[in-house]
Amino acid sequence: MTIFGIGLLMVASGGFSLGLILLLEAVGGVRLTWTTTHDDVLIPLGAIFAAVGFYFWLSGVRMVRKAFYEEKLMTEGVYAYTRNPMYAAFILFLIPALSLLMNDVLIILTSAILYAVFRINIGKEEDFLQRQFGEDYRRYAEKVPRLIPRFVRPKR
């Protein structure tokens, strides 16, 4: 397993699906918008989602890079809330933020596609981590959710 895990597959899938949705909207003329006041509600909500997403993604990248090269199981920081903070960042925060900021409901489909890709392929990473860290990873996986962050730290 490389440091990228299934990340490159996620980026390719997300980029392709987002591009396809935007192309279909441009060519087909179909665009679904949120039914609320864009400036008053969607922009602040999108900004909040983007801020949380960038925090999860940047923290996850910084922490996993160090842990990967030290061959250490990362369980602190954002990894105490979800085992996959970088994937959670895109699926739960950054793509929805883009959808809110652009007032475009169809962009949310990219999150659904990324989630499907994640569900199909995450086993490869988990198998690697189980082989690498054994019982420590098993205990960690029992306490920390796979994708949806739990914003209360598990008791040790």
Which pLDDT tens digit goes with each residue over 52-100? 999 999 999 999 988 988 989 999 999 999 999 999 999 999 999 999 8
pLDDT exceeds 80 at position 144: yes
Res 37: pLDDT: 64
Across 121-146, average pLDDT:
94
Across 126-144, average pLDDT:
95
Q: What is the mean pLDDT of the chain?
A: 89
pLDDT exceeds 90 at position 2: no
Res 154: pLDDT: 55
Report the C-alpha gap between 125 and 137 in whole angstroms: 12
pLDDT exceeds 90 at position 24: no
CATH topology of domain 50-149: Four Helix Bundle (Hemerythrin (Met), subunit A) (1.20.120)
Give me the DSSP letters along 80-127: GT-S-HHHHIIIIIIHHHHHHHTT-GGGHHHHHHHHHHHHHHHHHHHH
User: If you count them, how many residues does the chain have?
Assistant: 156
Spatial CA neighbour of 90 closest among 9, 1, 3: 9
pTM, two decimals, is: 0.83
